[in-house]
Amino acid sequence: QVQLVESGGGVVQPGRSLRLSCAASGFTFSSYGMHWVRQAPGKGLEWVAVISYDGSNKYYADSVKGRFTISRDNSKNTLYLQMNSLRAEDTAVYYCAKGSLGTGGPGEWGQGTLVTVSS
Amino acid sequence: DIVMTQTPLSSPVTLGQPASISCRSSQSLVHSDGNTYLSWLQQRPGQPPRLLIYKISNRFSGVPDRFSGSGAGTDFTLKISRVEAEDVGVYYCMQATQLPFTFGPGTKVDIK
């Protein structure tokens, strides 16, 4: 079965950087696009970024464009989110999710990792 | 960006009774490939989101048949035929027709 395990969250000061990872198993990772979606405490869902199966195409929400970078290592079955110039409003649980041409968007989701941006 | 709205934002329901949630998009969700990429997700308390319905009316793997989706264009509906205790949570519609993907604000379903 599909398993997605996020890691790398924690408390970080404004302006600093953090890298999130998402270890994937139970499917052929290199065949699927992957997403990051976040959820601020007590709030709704916000799509962050998507990367194509081979890493050649990447798209970002305007709120993170120029600060966040999505990437993947298909040899390690791992998805990444490099977050630079972090702001208080980036505080959220970050979920990775498996894409699917069939569903058109995120299908299976991980459990999430909490990022807190605070001085 | 496509704006997604949902009504109601809160829905107290009686166990065993039906429930319905509406979702509206600010523009048509019909993709150039002819598909309409409208999904419904469920988020139980303390859990990650879970995909229930994709492309308006297709149930995702393992989703009970008491969940159904309908609609077209800009207006969509999620129905639960008979609410069970495990259905408590927040329900989101999401469009994946146009980047950036966007979600509705969520509808909280709880038991009366």
Q: Of B7, B6, B13, give the one whose Cα is nearest residue B109.
A: B13
Closest chain A C-alpha to B56 CA, distance in angstroms: 10
Instruction: State pLDDT tens for residues A33-90.
Output: 999 999 999 999 999 999 999 999 999 999 999 999 999 999 999 999 999 999 999 9
Closest chain A C-alpha to B73 CA, distance in angstroms: 16
Largest CA distance in chain B: 43
pLDDT at A101: 78
Q: Which residues of A touch B48 (CB under 8 A)?
A: 95, 109-112
Classify each residue of A34-47 as buried b or exposed e, where b means 16 or more C-beta atoms within 10 Å of its C-beta. Answer: bbbbbbeeeeebbb
- Give the residue-averaged pLDDT of B40-47: 98
A77 burial type by CB count under 10 A (0-12 exposed, 13-18 middle, 19+ buried): middle
Q: Choose the mutation target among A103, A111, A114 for the interface with B, i.e. most B CBs under 10 Å.
A: A103
Mean pLDDT (chain A) is: 97
Q: Please report, rounded to a whole number, the percentage of residues in chain B having pLDDT higher than 70.
A: 100
pLDDT at A102: 83
